[in-house]
């Protein structure tokens, strides 16, 4: 019995009444890499927040299985470290100028805060973490250099780096919490803030004045100023404290 030769039949034209098939393009999958995994995780973070970031979710976005990610990223903890390092690479840092160390400390603080605030609640990640990525280490090194060249004693400068980062991260994280609440409420930012402060004002003002006399008396001061003014105030507290150590180390009054 003769067998069909598919190769010979390939040149037989299709009948004119048969609907022409649409060619199905082969899906081209981008080769997995650590950079691609981190970029994908960052997209998930920016769109849905840190809680949405997981190895499984990133794998889904890349149309693959979680196991394929582990050849490039060991676990979620490493993924988060890579994420914060990727974001740290967006930070512009000034060249150290000892005469301007106070201003440069603030410049770096504002830059770190700006970048963290631009990426949902990623400010949670550095809390309790020691920087190990090259970009995070670069930021750490630059801040330490500016403090040391400004005359801050080494031990004080070392502690100050950690305290400054803690202040920035916690402030940015709190801002992300309010941003998420504002978006969930459907209110405009100004409307949300007015409502939030109004509730706080009503609560503090309604406390028993005999037990909380100073709180009740100073409600306007407690709730005055916006987020940027308060962030600047916190930086000024840090700078003035560091200045006192510089004066002590140089014997100034």
Structure tokens at 222: 């407690």
Residues 6+ apart with CB under 8 A from 81: 125, 129, 132, 133
**pLDDT lower than 50: segments of the chain:** 1-4, 6, 24-28
User: Of 74, 102, 137, which marks where a domain is finished?
Assistant: 74
Model confidence pLDDT, tens digit, residues 167-220: 999 999 999 999 999 999 999 999 999 999 999 999 999 999 999 999 999 999
Same domain, 202 and 238: no
Same domain, 175 and 192: no
CA 183/CA 60 separation, integer angstroms: 26
Residues 6+ apart with CB under 8 A from 66: 55, 56, 59
Q: Residue 17: its pLDDT value, please?
A: 58
CA 37/CA 41 separation, integer angstroms: 6
Same domain, 69 and 47: yes
Are the C-beta atoms of 53 and 79 separated by less than 8 Å?
Answer: yes
The domain total for the chain is: 3
Q: Residue 15: its pLDDT value, please?
A: 60
Same domain, 169 and 244: yes
Range of the domain at 43: 34-74
């Amino acid at each position: 019995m003769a067998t069909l030769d598919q190769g010979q039949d390939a040149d037989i034209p299709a009948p004119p009444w048969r609907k022409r098939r649409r060619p199905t393009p082969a899906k081209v999958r981008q080769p997995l890499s650590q950079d691609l995994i981190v970029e994908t995780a960052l997209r998930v973070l920016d769109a849905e927040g840190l809680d949405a970031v997981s190895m499984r979710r990133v794998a889904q976005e890349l149309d693959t299985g979680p196991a394929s990610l582990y050849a490039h990223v060991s676990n979620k903890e490493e993924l988060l470290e890579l994420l914060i390092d990727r974001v740290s690479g967006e930070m512009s840092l000034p060249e150290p100028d000892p005469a301007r160390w106070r201003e440069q400390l603030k410049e770096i603080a504002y830059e770190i805060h700006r970048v963290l605030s631009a990426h949902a609640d990623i400010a949670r990640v550095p809390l309790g973490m020691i920087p190990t990525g090259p970009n995070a280490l670069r930021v750490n090194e630059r801040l330490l250099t500016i403090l040391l060249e400004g005359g801050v004693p080494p031990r004080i400068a070392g502690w100050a780096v950690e305290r400054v980062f803690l202040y920035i991260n916690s402030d940015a994280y709190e801002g992300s919490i309010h941003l998420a609440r504002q978006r969930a409420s459907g209110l405009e930012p100004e409307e949300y803030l007015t409502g939030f402060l109004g509730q706080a004002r009503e609560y503090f003002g309604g406390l028993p004045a005999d037990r909380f006399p100073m709180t009740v008396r100073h409600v306007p001061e407690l709730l005055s100023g916006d987020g940027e003014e308060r962030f600047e105030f916190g930086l000024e507290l840090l700078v003035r404290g560091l200045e006192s150590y510089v004066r002590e180390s140089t014997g100034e009054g």
